[in-house]
Amino acid sequence: MSLRKPYEQSYFPPVPTKLTKFFRTNFIYQLFRFIIINIKMLRMVRKH
């Protein structure tokens, strides 16, 4: 059993970078990803 000290790195969650926040909140990027994923699903459904 490992003893954890207060305020160690493991107590804090990872913080997203500015680029990650941008991709998560950008509507155009999200729309693009949505279209790509739907195209992939359609291709998969058509194959089987």
CA atoms of 14 and 36, how far apart (whole Å):
28
Q: What percent of the chain has pLDDT over 70?
A: 94
User: What are the residue ranges spanned by the domains of the chain?
Assistant: 15-47
Q: Which candidate, 46, 44, 26, places its Cα nearest to that of 36? A: 44
More confident residue, 6 or 42: 42
More confident residue, 5 or 14: 14
- pLDDT at residue 2, rounded to an integer: 61
